[in-house]
Amino acid sequence: MEKREILETWYQRVWVEGDLDAIDDMFRPDTQAAGLIPEMQMGPDEFRELVPMFLTLVESPVVTLDKVMEDGDWVSALYSMHVTDSNSGKPVMGAGQLFVRFSGDKMVETYNSFDFMGFFEQIGLLPEQSLALCLTGQKIG
């Protein structure tokens, strides 16, 4: 299976379908993902906790790999996630980046970035323009 296909399968099974068994199918037990939560690397067990929490906030997720580059064992991707806010029913879009090292068909090292601030603004968990407020020195909340 091509690395792009593995990433597409990852997002479909884990983030769209909520199939937590796919984590073990696609990660080695010692795989660590950096970047989703600052100062914390996440292994398979943490993903099994994070994914259901995220999926309770949204409905009908669709993930699209917008750009993918491969170089040997490494793959880099820009992706977008379109969901419906579970509370308001309004459409929400988030964007992220992923950098992954593979060993065979398993992800063994990942670096992630996702615009959680913009995402949480859209679902009403942060005030609108939170980044702009922070940049002017204002506290949120």
> What is the chain's pLDDT, residue by residue, as a tens digit (141 residues)?
799 999 999 999 999 999 999 999 999 999 999 988 877 889 999 999 999 999 999 999 999 999 999 999 999 999 999 999 999 999 999 999 999 999 999 999 999 999 999 999 999 999 999 999 999 999 887
Per-residue confidence (pLDDT) for residue 39, from 0 to 100: 79
CATH number of 3-115: 3.10.450.50
pLDDT at position 16: 97
**Other C-beta atoms within 10 Å of 27: how many?**
21
SS3 percent helix, strand, coil of the chain, rounded to 5, is: 35, 45, 25
Domains of the chain: which residue ranges? 3-115
Q: What pTM value is reported for the model?
A: 0.90
Residue 36 to residues 50, 97, 99, 138: CA-CA distances in angstroms?
10, 10, 12, 24
Helix (H) or strand (E) segment spanning residue 9:
helix 3-10
Predicted confidence at residue 22, as pLDDT, reads 97
Of the candidates 91, 94, 112, 86, the residue with the CA atom closest to the CA atom of residue 33: 112
Contact 51, 24 (CB under 8 A): no
Q: How far is it, in rounded angstroms, from Cα 114 to Cα 86?
A: 20
pLDDT at residue number 97:
97
